[in-house]
A and B are shown apart, each in its own frame.
Chain A
Amino acid sequence: AQSVTQPDIHITVSEGASLELRCNYSYGATPYLFWYVQSPGQGLQLLLKYFSGDTLVQGIKGFEAEFKRSQSSFNLRKPSVHWSDAAEYFCAVGARNTDKLIFGTGTRLQVFP
């Protein structure tokens, strides 16, 4: 069965610091992988996605993520965090040829000035 694990419930960083949010997945084949962001009181917004090809994918707002098959991971990174990045981040895995997504439990990011 597909599953997604986000081991960090809450992360706090200083503005300008680098960021890495962890995501591990379980899936029998090569999955589709996604990162979504949810600001308070808002819906989820797609940051980036991996389907195939280059394992380092670029997204919006300066985010990137790297697919590592050997580690079953798809960690999200940003070199310099802005205060506006404070939000909840969700990793998701999807089966090929379907729009069904399985979401992780999320990581809440807090940014200090």
Chain B
Amino acid sequence: EAGVVQSPRYKIIEKKQPVAFWCNPISGHNTLYWYLQNLGQGPELLIRYENEEAVDDSQLPKDRFSAERLKGVDSTLKIQPAELGDSAVYLCASSLNGAAGELFFGEGSRLTVL
């Protein structure tokens, strides 16, 4: 069984440029999460989806960040425009409905903003 797939693994951009990250969750997992992991820190939730619906986006900086999960499968996280402080690892995770915390994580997308 394939795990959570994220791309790209690494991205280097200049500030004010846009960037997008893609996530394909484990087949059958209807809950999808985007986490932000700063260097030396634990992951912090950005947004959580139940199927197509964003059920928790309270930590998503909506002035520059957006996310979508069309058809309740793949998801895209976008930053526009990127700032220096956005340099971090963006983790995607998925779980079965009601999995109570048993999240399966992708390898992450490391963003460097110059």
Contacts and interface: CB of A to CB of B under 8 A. Distances in A.
Interface of A: 4, 9, 32, 34, 36, 41-46, 49, 51, 90, 92, 94, 96-97, 99-101, 103-106
Contact of B45 (A42, A97, A100): A100
Contacts of B111: none
B101 A44 contact: no
**Main SS of the interface on chain B?**
loop
Contacts of B108: 43
B43 A90 contact: yes
Interface of B: 3-4, 31, 33, 40-45, 48, 56, 91, 93, 95, 98-108
Contacts of B99: 99
9 contacts: A32-B101, A44-B105, A45-B105, A46-B103, A49-B100, A51-B100, A100-B56, A103-B42, A106-B42
A41 B107 contact: yes
Contacts of A51: 100
B93 to A, nearest CB: 8
A99 B31 contact: yes
Contacts of A36: 105
A49 to B, nearest CB: 6
B56 A42 contact: no
A96 B101 CA distance: 9
A101 B45 contact: yes
A92 B101 CA distance: 9
A110 B100 CA distance: 30
Best-buried of B3, B56, B95, B103 by chain A (most CB within 10 Å): B103
Given A43-B106, A104-B42, A106-B42, A34 B101 contact: yes
A18 B18 CA distance: 47
Nearest to B107: A43
B112 to A, nearest CB: 15
Contact of B42 (A45, A49, A90): A90
Contact of B107 (A34, A42, A94): A42
A43 B4 contact: yes
Contacts of A99: 31, 33, 48, 95, 98-101, 103
